[in-house]
Chain A
Amino acid sequence: MDGNRHPAIMLRDLRKSYRQVVALDGLSLAVPPGSITGLLGPNGSGKTTTVSILSTALRPDSGQALVAGLDVTIHPAEVRRLIGFAGQFAAVDPNLTGRENLRLIGRLSRLPRPLARDRADEALERFGLAGAAGRLVRGYSGGMRRRLDVAAALIHRPAVLFLDEPTTGLDPESRTQLWRLVAELAADGTTVLLTTQYLEEADALADRVVIIDRGQVAGEGRPHELRKRIGSAVVALEFADEHAAARAQRRLGAQFPAARRDGPIVRLASEAGSSAVVGAARALTGADDPVAVRIREPSLDDVFLALTSSAARASQPGDAA
């Protein structure tokens, strides 16, 4: 495909509001072909709006969204031939069989009837649904529905696939199964953009992670790079009260400039949890002892707070920009 010269997906200063609510506030992004990119962010950050615009289901207020170099608002019909989309809810007809659903979507994706039939059977096989192909989808489990939904999005072999929270509500086994399928697709050259609320999912699947917050990119990079930015462990020191915690934060400041305080808890992000604990113990010698110490893996919240708080600092009032 000659679209390989372009980034598979390109967003420039994309904006979208719903009445008073700003969903996208100047989002810019480029996704290279053949990659898996994870859009990571909390509810309401603009993830779904982004993929809805890219999949032509929604029009942006301003800015540009290109898929394989084609503007989604100018050439929606051409873009629809290139993309596959699986939304937040498994959009399949519960009163059709799995096979009938796939054939329908295949036909509506402009496959000739015999090809739609063959592709449906292939997809059922590949997604582990061959045994349930003739059963009504209303009898499927959540995981089976979701796999069928993704299979439907792929029936016409799109160059770019959008998945909106593909594993929300799935049991761990179905989730790993879906991850494996998505990884296989990318290995075949499909560009995948998926949204997720789970750092673990972005970690497991994505080559690149884009963190979005309030409709803007708050940070992006390879998952391990992002982790590096916040360290690989979070140490939470709990003190008797807020004052003790504030005093401790000041003493820790030299060694841990990014230490954050939240009430009586001070959080340190670090490369290694044990050295952070030892370092903190030294810095706090002769001051209040913490009442509890916990070491854990950085969560999405930690990455998120680290990136958004630095973004917030960069745009303090008085900043000329």
Chain B
Amino acid sequence: MTTTAAARPGPGRAMIAVTDTIDVASRNLRSMLRMPQALVFALIQPVLFVLLFRYAFGGAIHVPGVPYVDYLIPGIFGQAVAFGALGTAVGLATDLRSGLLERFRTLPMSRSAVLAGRTLADLARSLAVVAVMAGIGFAVGFRVHTSALAFLAGLGLVALFGYALSWGCVSLGLRISDPEAAQAAGVPLMFLLVFASGAFVPIATMPGWLQAVAAHQPLTALVTAVRALVLGGPTAGHVLASVIWSCALLAGFSLLAVGQYQRISR
């Protein structure tokens, strides 16, 4: 049996995983920047939501004690990263179909880097979208009632949640393996997640059965925590709930996705 090749010295596995992840992530970011239309479309939807909810629906929605725009913008952040996560499904399905994932499997590269590089690049894109949303939010009257630090902590929660959802979309993209179909399958899921939540309207206005669902889902936990951070009031419990939700989703989705990725070669 040949064992000499196995003992070949070289950079450790961890180091290879890090450099490969950076290389794959920068490839994905570069690839995204080469499709500026896609980036523009990724921004149009959340911008429309800000404008529609601020000016069209906002007048009809009454939230006790807070100007609606201050209530709205944390919900917009959640909505932006939820729909942004679909980019992961589309990107992976595209790479699966083009044969690029197959090529990656034949290279002496870190296997985890393929998925990590994809989700990290998508996280960077989501954060850019959230930054634009924050800018537009401030332009239409959104104000932080607490501190810049609390606002940044809120954005941190948004990023963690978006990253967790992105891993869920890895699973979706690998399963459906057709970019258009993956998008079509993901959009209704995200609509449910975003609208059956406290992202845009107070849960108390919903019928009882829907309240039960909306009150116990991760996007509601996220926007509740972000609102607590930017509007004031008790925060610790809400923040903890959102962190627990996001970490649990991240753990579950990433295990699922890694398992699926390994099964491709069976």
Chain A residues with a Cβ under 8 A of chain B: 52, 55-59, 69-70, 75, 77-78, 80-81, 83, 85, 87-96, 100, 104-105, 107-110, 136, 152
Contacts and interface: CB of A to CB of B under 8 A. Distances in A.
B106 A108 contact: no
15 contacts: A52-B102, A55-B106, A56-B106, A57-B102, A59-B265, A78-B8, A80-B107, A90-B99, A93-B98, A95-B30, A96-B34, A107-B23, A108-B108, A108-B109, A109-B109
Please report whether the interface of chain A is mostly helix, strand, loop or mixed according to DSSP: loop
Interface in B1-50: 2, 5-6, 8, 10, 16, 19-20, 23-24, 27, 30-32, 34-35
B107 A108 contact: yes
A110 B105 contact: no
B18 to A, nearest CB: 13
Interface residues of B, number: 29
B6 A85 contact: no
Given A85-B103, A109-B108, A95 B2 contact: no
Interface in B248-266: 265-266
B98 A89 contact: yes
B55 interface: no
Query: Which one of A59, A89, A93 has the greatest number of beta carbons of chain B within 10 Å?
Result: A93
B31 A95 contact: yes
B209 to A, nearest CB: 41
Please report whether the interface of chain B is mostly helix, strand, loop or mixed according to DSSP: helix
B61 interface: no
Given A77-B108, A85-B106, A108-B109, 11 more contacts: A55-B106, A57-B102, A69-B2, A80-B108, A83-B106, A85-B103, A87-B99, A91-B98, A109-B109, A110-B16, A110-B108
Contact of B30 (A57, A90, A96): A96
Sort A-B residue pairs by CB-CB distance and give the 6 closest, nearest first: A91-B99, A95-B34, A80-B108, A95-B31, A78-B5, A85-B106
A104 B23 contact: yes
Query: Which one of B20, B35, B103 has the greatest number of beta carbons of chain A within 10 Å?
Result: B103
A91 B23 contact: no
Contacts of A83: 106
A96 B98 CA distance: 14
Contacts of A94: 98
A125 to B, nearest CB: 22
B104 interface: yes
Nearest to B108: A80
B100 interface: yes
Query: Which one of B20, B30, B35 has the greatest number of beta carbons of chain A within 10 Å?
Result: B30
A107 B23 CA distance: 8
A136 B34 contact: yes
Query: Which one of B6, B104, B108, B265 has the greatest number of beta carbons of chain A within 10 Å?
Result: B108
A59 B265 CA distance: 6
Nearest to B27: A104
Contact of A95 (B5, B16, B24, B35): B35
A81 B6 CA distance: 11
Nearest to A2: B4
B2 A75 contact: yes
A70 B6 CA distance: 10
Nearest to A162: B106
Interface string B99-121: 11011111111000000000000
Nearest to B30: A96
B254 to A, nearest CB: 21
A33 to B, nearest CB: 15
A136 to B, nearest CB: 6
Contacts of A109: 107-109
B23 A108 contact: yes
